[in-house]
Structure 1
Amino acid sequence: MLYVGVDLGTSAVKLLLMDGSGKIEKIVSREYPIYFPHPGWSEQRPQDWYEQTMEGLKELLADCDRSQVAGISFGGQMHGLVILDKDDQVIRPALLWNDGRTSEECDYLNNVIGKEKLSEYTANISFTGFTAPKILWVKNKEPENFARIAKIMLPKDYIAYRLSGVHCTDVSDASGMLVFDVKNRCWSKEMLDICGIREDQMAKVYESYEAVGNVLPEIAKELDIPQSVKVVAGAGDNAAAAVGTGTVGDGMCNISLGTSGTIFISSEKFGVDKYNALHAFAHADGHYHLMGCMLSAASCNKWWMDEIIGTKDYAGEQKAIEKLGENHVYFLPYLMGERSPHNNPNARATFIGMTMDTTRADMTQAVLEGVAFALRDSLEIARALGIHIERTKICGGGAKSPLWKKIIANVLNLKVDVIESEEGPALGGAMLAAVACGEYASVEEAAAKLVKIVDTVDPDPELVAKYEERYEQFRQIYPACKGIFDVIR
């Protein structure tokens, strides 16, 4: 049988076709625009998502035996707010995860409602990107639109609705809304009241590997696929990517070096750190995960290479880096503020430690190391919770650099496993569809059979010791600069 994974990203939808053995038959991608109506605002039209997804599905399935298509599932950009009226029409463009308009609403949630209450209700505190402050923004700034809301949805779930007719979401994506009781995997009545919304306005919650229904007859006809094709709940992009890298079960770890950076730790048990520096979310495997998210990771290196030193020869620049663990230059990678662990939108990127003998290679090395040190900040919080991690998978564009993988392995003192097929949320979505259709008994079984490790980067004890000293210096820089970040704008 054949399974489709749909990764609804911020700039494009990526669609992947996988057979039951895990072989990837075809991948297609379709772009759509982002709108920035005001500085700091970020919106998209859900209709654009749907149209490009449908066109992508037609292209994806054009050359296969479409009678063999059994299931469609999703990974998708998290936190976005999609609101529908009583006729299931989109009321306004979706507010995206990287939309920054909700600072007032976040202040209200964190400081008036209080972080302790938020953590009690949802296991998390408020960030500008989360969905609850967006709901409050619409309530406060667009009351006429708020009054029309019949359903509140997340981006990928709107596509699932258009394909199946079911208003649905999954536990992992719902976890990032700040209206979901993560521990008990249900909507938080307290948070619904705070946001001024009702439970019947929310989508029905499913586990990520559960079918929500079948494709609508008109969809089956348009795509020339059986009406028996299952539409499966899917997962938020990070949880779906974790499935695709085999980061499921207890104590598994994945580091993503994409535009943003994440350290994702799966756990059979629910847990929250007392400072809420890490996100505590439900996982797509039926259990839980902790996640540290830094807003600028591989994008730091792209910025440094493209905008500052003006080159596309990323590998060439890294060849000049020879003395790991001995760099006297440090870089705080907060180009867009920072989420984990500081939750400070005012934080800024900073070079410190330059002298007259500082070289271009030192600066490049500092950027790579700064991202690794910032990821370790989140890892240290997980370790403080008693979570023992010895190795991690790695994915994302930055993971293509052998040098960066070596730096990560030694800064974090982890074995870094490189996997054979790094297709992220789209592959995870296809795997979830295969589980829902009975191809595999569980998400863990699918991951064990389909995800293959092809290389491992081992930490070097001598280099680990050098980076331990450097990290202790790095972690003192942000507290020293924090007061300055609050006044420079």
Structure 2
Amino acid sequence: MFYIGVDLGTSSVKLLLMDGSGKIEKIVSREYPIAFPHPGWSEQSPQDWWKETKAGICELTEGFDKSQVAGISFGGQMHGLVILDKEDQVIRPAILWNDGRTQKQTDYLNNSVGKDKLSAYTANIAFAGFTAPKILWVKENEPENFQRIAKIMLPKDYIAYCLTGVHSSDYSDASGMLLMDVKNKCWSRKMMEICDVKEEQLPKLYESYEITGTLKPEVAEELGLPKACIVTAGAGDNAAAAVGTGTVGNEKCNISLGTSGTIFISSNDFCVDKFNALHAFAHADGHYHLMGCMLSAASCNKWWMDEIIRTKDYGAEQKGIEKLGENHVFFLPYLMGERSPHNNPNARGTFTGLTMDSTREDMTQAVLEGVAFAIRDSLEVARAQGLHIERATICGGGAKSPLWKKMIANILNIKVDVIKSEEGPALGGAMLAAVACGEYKSVEEAAKAIVKVVDTVEPDMELVEKYEKKYRTFAEIYPALKPVFDKIAEA
């Protein structure tokens, strides 16, 4: 049997065809536009997602026995607001996760409602990208559209609706709406009251691997797929990527060094830190996870290489870096402000410790180390909750650097596993579909069978000790400079 994973991203939809053993048979990608109607705004047409997903499924299955496609599931961009009227027609373009228009509503939730209450209701505090502030923005700025809302959906859930006719969502993606009681896995009545939302306007919630429906007859005919092809709830992109990297089960970890950076830690038990420094979300394996998200990770190195020292030969710049754990230059990687664990949009990037004998290599090394130190900041929050992390898988563009992986292993004092496939959310989606169809008994069983480790970077205890001292110094820099960042923002 075959299983389709749909990764509904911000710039394109990526589709993956996997057989029952986990072999990836084919991958296709279809792009769609993003609109920026005002500075800081970011919108997309849900109809574009559906159009390109349909075309992508047809392209993906061409040349294969379509009757053998047993299931479809998803990973998808989180937090986006899709609103439908009583005829299930899209009311306005979707407001995306990276849209910045809701600062007023975010401040209202955090400061007037209060972070303590938000955390008690949802296990999280408000961020401008979350869905609840977007709902409040529509209510305040587009009251006529707000009055027409019959259903509130997330991006991937709109595609699931188009396939099945069922309004559904999963716990992992819904965790990022600031409307769900994450601990108890249900919609929060308090948050519905705050946002003036009724429960019938929200989709039914499922575990990521649960079946929500089968293909509508007309959709099955158009796509050439069996009417019995099942659709499962799927997951938010980070949770789906975690499934695709084998980050399921208790105290498993994945680090992503992409444009932004994440550290994703799975847990059998619900937990939330008292400062809400990390997101506390439900996981696609039926349990929970903590996630730290830094806004600039590999993009810090790209900025340093492309814009400052003006070279594309990233490998050559790293060849001269040999004295690990001995650098006196420190770099704060907050080029776009910071999310986890500081939650401070005013934070800025800095070099600290420069002297007349500081070299180009020292500064390049500081950039790489600064990102690793910042990831450790989030790991320390998780460790304070009693989680014991001994190893992590690693993915993303930055993971191609042997030097960076070595730094991560020694700065975090964990084993770093490199996996064979880095298809992330699309593979995770296909795996969830396979679980739903009974190919595997659980998400954890699927991960053990499909995700293969091809290399491991071990920490060196001598380097670990050196980096421990350096990290303690790094950890003092941001608190010392925070008042300065606030003054810069006010200027």
TM-score range, shorter chain: over 0.9
Counterparts of 2:304 and 2:35 in 1: how far apart (Å)? 26
| Aligned residue number for residue 325 of structure 2 | 325
In the alignment, which residue of structure 2 is the partner of 1:219? Answer: 219
| 2:5 is aligned with 1:12 | no
Q: How does 1:116-195 map to 2 (within 5 A)?
A: 116-195=116-195
Q: Output aligned runs, 1:92-107, within 5 Å.
A: 92-107=92-107
Residue identity (%): 77
- Distance across 1 between alignment mates of 2:369 and 2:163: 44
The question of 1:472 aligning with 2:472 is answered yes
Once residues 330 and 99 of structure 2 are traced to their aligned partners in structure 1, the CA distance between those partners, rounded to angstroms, is: 29
Are residue 454 (structure 1) and residue 443 (structure 2) matched? no
Letter in 2 for 1:239: A
Q: CA deviation at 1:269?
A: 0.6
Give the CA deviation at 1:230. Answer: 0.6
Give 1:359's aligned residue.
Answer: 359
1:209 matched residue in structure 2: 209
Q: Separation in 1 of the partners of 2:213 and 2:276?
A: 36
How much has 1:328 moved relative to structure 2?
Answer: 1.4
Shift of 1:455: 0.7
Report whether the alignment pairs 1:3 with 2:3: yes
1:301 counterpart residue number: 301
Question: 2:402 matched to 1:402?
Answer: yes
- In structure 2, stretches of 5+ residues that fail to align are none
Shift of 1:259: 1.4
SS at match of 1:488: helix
Residues 1:426 and 2:429 aligned together? no
- The answer for the alignment partner of 1:35 in structure 2 is 35
- Of 356-365 and 366-375, the range deviating more from structure 2: 356-365
TM-fit CA distance, 1:356: 1.8
Q: Deviations over 1:154-191 (max 9, x none)?
A: 11111111111111110000000000000111100100
- Using the size of structure 1 for normalisation, the TM-score is 0.99
1:245-272 C-alpha deviation (Å, 9 max, x unpaired): 1111111111111111111111111111
Residues 400-448 of structure 1 deviation map (CA, whole Å, 9 limit, x = unaligned): 1111100000010000011111110000000000000110111011011
- Offset of residue 306 of structure 1: 1.8
The range that moved more, 45-54 or 375-384, is: 45-54
Letter in 2 for 1:387: L
Partners of 1:344 and 1:81 in 2: CA distance: 24
Is structure 2 residue 379 aligned with structure 1 residue 379? yes
Aligned-residue offset at 1:471: 0.7
Instruction: Look up the SS of the partner of 1:290 in the other structure.
Output: strand
Match of 1:241 in 2: 241
Report the CA distance between 1:307 and its aligned residue: 2.0
Cα distance in 2 for residues equivalent to 1:487 and 1:160: 47
Which of 272-281 and 300-309 deviates more? 300-309
Backbone CA RMSD of aligned residues: 1.0
How much does 1:116 deviate?
0.9
Aligned partner of residue 486 in structure 1, secondary structure: helix
Q: Unpaired segments of 5 or more residues in structure 1?
A: none
Give the Cα–Cα distance (whole angstroms) in 2 for the partners of residues 185 and 330 of structure 1. Answer: 42
Give the TM-score, by structure 2 length: 0.98
Question: Which residue type is aligned with residue 76 of structure 2?
Answer: G
Q: Distance in 2 between matches of 1:328 and 1:39?
A: 39
Whole-angstrom CA distance in 2 between matches of 1:58 and 1:312: 37
